[in-house]
Amino acid sequence: MKKMELIAPCHFGLEAVLKREILDLGYDISEVEDGRVGFWGDAEAICRANIFLRTAERVLLKVGSFKATSYEELFENTRALDWENYIPENGKFWVAKAASVKSKLFSPSDIQSVMKKAMVRRMQQKYQVEWFSEDGAAYPVRVFLKKDVVTVGIDTSGVSLHKRGYREVSGKAPITETLAAALIMLTPWHKDRILVDPFCGSGTFPIEAAMIAANIAPGMNRSFTAEEWTNLIPKKLWYETVNEANELINDDIEVDIQGYDVDGSVIKIARRNAREAGVDHLIHFQERDVKDLSHPKKYGFIITNPPYGERLEDKKDLPALYKAFGESFKNLDSWSAYMITSYEDAERYFGRKADRNRKIYNGMLKTYFYQFLGPKPPKAGRPSDRQEKK
């Protein structure tokens, strides 16, 4: 099959996690930039990337890239692209989103308008028609401008890939599924280790962990825009990819994954979401305050998204909350804790300086992923005081 360049956008700061996922799927990387990873693949790769990637926001089919510092250049270079190779005569096409960073052209609406006109002009010439019905499959275009370089792609995913299909209802200030999966994958957690989220909200961390443990592909229970692109992707490839995903599932496993929240109403939502994801049998949810956090076993993991003070709590409530969290953590022998928060005094009130932290943008909000590392479990009965490594 024909090789194409695909682009997978992701959260800023998590490009390395997505790159590893793409390599694990068997595809070659073309480039890594802030907030996106490019790779080479065929039509089947579009199906597999959408269904299997846990940390990508969407998958774009790259049409081309060029430099443009004026709208005339933007028009001419857009018209020069081979749109007819991707969009059939009856295809519905529009520029769904334009983003510009450090470029002379910066108005999204003007960029969208000029590019649409250029696409129409190109296809009028190629299809020898004056008017397009646009009553066929959808081909939404997304464009990024960075330092006057324009990168153009057609969105194969449609709704963002963080919409797995299991979370119809969310608690307040939820973390996205793609970000939760990426943060779990940044830790050394494995399905044979304990995982607890003491601020689980609608259950995203425990559910994503359970899906990883059971090898459930995140895109199995949703649809994608490119499913209708029969001119580029045979329908059978989608069915074959879903069958591949089904064969890889192993949910008959023993795991210790727990989610707690002080709000009983969101625990009900978390249980419902876990049922929708098919992992409710793998997670124990419980209404519990963080000050009551405990576990009899050693070498467990906490991965959590505690309140920031942006939407969930007043800032004045946060010192006591983080202090209670830190006190509970001290009583967990040999555990490691990972938390994402924008709260600037998190370490101070948690009572310990993080061994590592990583800056990550959660939407437009700058957050830090604090890593408090405990010792590794001993191997072959020999005690070890070495700390967890990524």
Alpha-carbon distances, residue 112 vs 62, 97, 244, 304 (angstroms): 17, 7, 38, 39
> What does the pLDDT look like over 324-340, one tens digit per residue?
999 999 999 999 999 99
| Per-residue pLDDT at 383 | 47
Query: Using CB atoms within 10 A of its CB, is residue 21 exposed (0-12), middle (13-18) or buried (19+)?
Result: buried
| Cα–Cα dist 155/364, whole Å | 22
Query: Can you give the pTM of this predicted structure?
Result: 0.93
157 in Cβ contact with 238 (< 8 Å): no
Instruction: Kindly state the DSSP code that residue 379 receives in the 8-state scheme.
Output: B
Q: Domain limits of the chain?
A: 4-155, 177-216+232-372
| Per-residue pLDDT at 386 | 46
Task: Kindly tell me if the per-residue pLDDT of 264 is higher than 90.
Answer: yes
Q: Which residue has the tokens 């399905």?
A: 191
Exposure string over 323-349, b if 16+ CB within 10 A, otherwise e: bbbbebbeebeebbbbbbbebeebbeb
Task: Kindly tell me if the per-residue pLDDT of 170 is higher than 70.
Answer: no
Reported confidence tier of residue 176, pLDDT bands at 50, 70, 90: very high
| Per-residue pLDDT at 384 | 46
The architecture (CATH level 2) of 177-216+232-372 comes to 3-Layer(aba) Sandwich (3.40)
> What does the pLDDT look like over 86-122, one tens digit per residue?
999 999 999 999 999 999 999 999 999 999 999 999 9
Q: Which one-letter amino acid corresponds to residue 285?
A: F
> What is the CATH T-level fold of the domain 4-155, as seen in this structure?
VC0802-like (3.30.2130)
Q: Which two tokens stand for residue 381?
A: 């009965």
